[in-house]
Structure 1
Amino acid sequence: MDDGAELTRDRFLRGSDRGALWISQPRRGYRAGVDPVLLAASVPAKPGQSLLDLGCGVGTAALCAGWRVPGLRLAGLERQADHAALAARNAAENGLEMEVVTGDLTRMPDALRQRQFDHVIANPPYFRRDASTRATVPAREAAMGEETPMAAWVAAAARRCAPGGTVTFIQRVERLPEILAGFTAHLGSIELKPLLPREGRESQLFLIRARKNGRAAFRLHAGLLLHSGAEHGQDRPDYSDLAEAILKTGAILPFDGGPKKDPVG
């Protein structure tokens, strides 16, 4: 891969007491945006704990979590070897340690098969190809078009999660029935957080979190409003205050209320 022609280097987070998080990613095909940042911000991780990102791509979600929570031990599984190599490179260039394993979650590599993690996250492909059109760029199709059934993603995440640990996914609303069925079969203490594009608009995405061996009742939380105003009318993203803090400075995305102070300061 010719870095100059094929890659861009994009800033995802910044902080007053730490440097920015920079991610190199392919110029064409699937490109990480706000979704992995929101996913990472919703994980209740603490220093010293471990996190596994299934289908980690170039490492954006895991590295956002590691940037926010110093001392979080990171691992990622990615089936595309070039993306896995970029994830390892991004970790090194940002001064973060991340173990990146190349492989398929349906044939879990030995390096991960016998291990469990405090937190498991995933941003599975959004689109079922029996109800959508394939992308023309192979890398984008691999990231956005489902080949591995959602049930397999949930089962793999549950197996890799330690007792009492959390599994968190971000997904499109039309996939909620099947993903909720999978979470119910393997996990407990399920919580759902809709992501609302604007006031009065239907949710298109949601975050779902559960605990291994959890027993609490299902909770449907108030949605997170991503943008201010009824419609986009400016030459900037016009994020809500909380969304701006999450996406730009690594603030926590709370499931059950307003802004919370980061436990690591």
Structure 2
Amino acid sequence: MSAPSSETIDAFHRGRFHLVQPKGRGHRAGMDAMLLASLVDASGPFRLADLGAGAGAAGLAGAARLEGAEGTLVERSPEMADYARKSLALADNSHLSSRANVVEADVTLTGKARVAAGLADDSFDHVIMNPPFNDAGDRRTPDALKAEAHAMTDGLFEAWIRTAGAIMVPGGQLSLIARPQSIAEIIAACGKRFGGLEITPLYPRAGESAVRVLVTAIKGSRARLELRAPLTMHDDPGSHRFSAFVDDLNNGRAAYRRR
């Protein structure tokens, strides 16, 4: 298996699926996508939408772990959507290709435009997202493809979560990963659309500040918010080895289930 010099083919979940990604530019999928996928837990057939899917890492990770998943990878960038299609065409992903498809569309589309793009109302049981996370005041990368994937705009969470609420069945689950600084915006965007929020802070090591939050919520739920016990990436202060549970989440051996 080989790739052109402008791209790489990378193994995830210890080789259970592979991803075609741009080399030396653009957003390269990693642990964030794998942790996002771990938030999905279901038995039997279900429909999964990965909003802002990039090359398809999180959506394919969910499908690789859960045989009942039928995944739709939603990506605005024509170039990254093409990488997702290349990923699905890999022989090593043949066990996933019949259960996944790519929709090239802007997540922020509304109404008839969104439906025409292939995102109909009340269609998905799970919606996952890893929205752009760099604040407008952050230093911008000269890499245009990476900047598009990372640059946050005003009202981003409101727009993305609005779309998630529209395309999800009642009682469906929203899952996302974000920076801790975005918690207030996420809660506000969920509003009356989603309830039962469960927020888990992710810490590099004990005593350090959180670098991410994992958030799940249920469409139409009126349950109150719950702040869960934190996850710590590394148990040993002097080691880069992941803790056993985080390593299982990262490699598709476990789900991070709602309480």
TM-score (norm 1): 0.87
Partner of 1:113: 120
Could you say what secondary structure the match of 1:242 adopts?
A: helix
Give the one of 94, 99, 102 matched to 1:100.
102
Query: How far did residue 71 of structure 1 move?
Result: 2.2
Q: Which one of 48, 52, 55 corresponds to residue 49 of structure 2?
A: 52
Q: Deviations over 1:61-104 (max 9, x none)?
A: 00000000012111021001121122122123212121211111
Aligned to 1:32: 29
Q: Is the 8 A contact 1:45 1:119 kept in 2?
A: no
Offset from partner CA, 1:83-139 (integer Å, 9 cap, x none): 11221221232121212111112222511134520000000001121x212111111
Map of 1:245 onto structure 2: 248
Give the corresponding residue for 1:4.
4
Q: Is the 8 A contact 1:199 1:229 kept in 2?
A: no
Distance 1:114 1:249, change over 3 A: closer
2:138 matches 1:132: yes
d(CA) in 1 for partners of 2:224 and 2:46? 25
Q: 1:73 to 1:118 in 2, by over 3 A?
A: same
Distance 2:38 2:161 in 1: 20
Decide whether the 8 Å contact of 2:34 with 2:252 is kept in 1: no
Please tell me the root mean square deviation across aligned C-alpha atoms, in Å.
Answer: 1.7
Gaps of 5+ in 1: 257-265
Shift of 1:244: 1.3
Distance 1:238 1:132, change over 3 A: same
Name the CA distance, whole Å, in 2 between partners of 1:137 and 1:109. 32
* Deviation digits for residues 137-160 of structure 1 (CA, Å, limit 9, x no counterpart): 111001111246221111111111
2:200–2:229 contact (8 Å) kept in structure 1: yes
Structure 1 counterpart of 2:88, from 63, 87, 91: 91
Query: What amino acid is the match of 2:107?
Result: L
CA contact (8 A) 1:103 1:109 kept: no
1:254 match: 257
* Counterpart-to-counterpart distance in 2, 1:196 and 1:55: 24
Where does residue 63 of structure 1 map in the other structure?
60
Number of residue pairs matched?
Answer: 246
Q: Which amino acid aligns with 1:242?
A: F
> Counterparts of 1:65-80 in structure 2 under 5 Å?
65-80=62-77
Select the residue among 68, 73, 78 that pairs with 1:81: 78
Asked if the contact 2:173/2:217 (under 8 Å) is kept, the reply is: yes
3-state SS of the aligned residue for 1:177? helix
Unmatched tracts of structure 2, length 5 or more: none
Note if 1:216 corresponds to 2:206. no
Q: Distance in 2 between matches of 1:124 and 1:113?
A: 20
Task: Tell me, yes or no, if the aligned pair for 1:190 and 1:209 is still in contact at 8 Å.
Answer: yes
- Residue 259 of structure 1 corresponds to which residue in structure 2? none
Please give the alpha-carbon distance, in whole angstroms, between the structure 1 residues aligned to 2:241 and 2:191.
36
Counterpart CA distance in 2 for 1:152 and 1:196 is 28
Does residue 176 of the first structure (1) align with residue 173 of the second (2)?
Answer: no
CA offsets 1:10-50 (integer angstroms, 9 cap, x no match):
11103xxxx62111111122101100000001112333011
Alignment correspondent of 1:154: 161
The AA in structure 1 aligned to 2:210 is S
